Chains A and B, each alone.
Chain A
Amino acid sequence: MDHSGYNEIADLALRKTGQAFRSNHRYLVEARLASILRRENFSTLEELANCLQARPNSVLEVEVASALTGKDTQFFGDRKTISHIVSFLATRAESSRTSGRKLRVLCAGGGTGQEAYSLVIEALENAPQLFEDALLEITSVDICKASTLRARAGQYGHYEIQTGLSAQRMLKYFSRSDNSWQAGNMLRQKVDFSVCNLMTGLPELGLFDVVLCRNVMPSMVRPIAIDVAGQLLDILQPWGQLVLGQEEMLPQSVTGFIPSRDVRNALAPASAKAASKPPQESVA
Chain B
Amino acid sequence: MKNCLIVDDSRVVRKVAGRIIRDLQFDVTEAGDGAEALEICRETMPDAVLLDWNMPVMNGMDFLRALRREDDGHKPVVVFCSTENDADHISEAIRTGANDFIMKPFDSNIIESKFTEVGLI
Contact = CB atoms under 8 A, between A and B. Distances in A.
A177 B60 CA distance: 26
B118 A159 contact: no
B102 A162 contact: yes
Interface in B93-114: 93-94, 98, 100-103, 105-107, 109-110, 113-114
A214 to B, nearest CB: 17
Nearest to A168: B94
A97 interface: no
Q: How extensive is the interface on chain A, given as a class?
A: 10 to 19
Given A162-B113, A162-B114, A167 B106 contact: no
B103 A158 contact: yes
B116 to A, nearest CB: 9
Given A171-B90, A171-B91, A166 B100 contact: yes
A163 interface: yes
Contact of A163 (B91, B100, B109): B109
Nearest to A175: B87
Interface residues of B, number: 20
Interface string A215-230: 0000000000000000
B43 interface: no
A167 B109 contact: no
A168 B86 CA distance: 13
Nearest to B110: A162
A176 interface: yes
Interface of A: 74, 158-159, 162-168, 170-171, 175-176
Given A162-B114, A165-B117, 11 more contacts: A158-B103, A159-B107, A159-B109, A162-B113, A163-B109, A163-B113, A164-B113, A166-B100, A167-B94, A171-B91, A176-B87
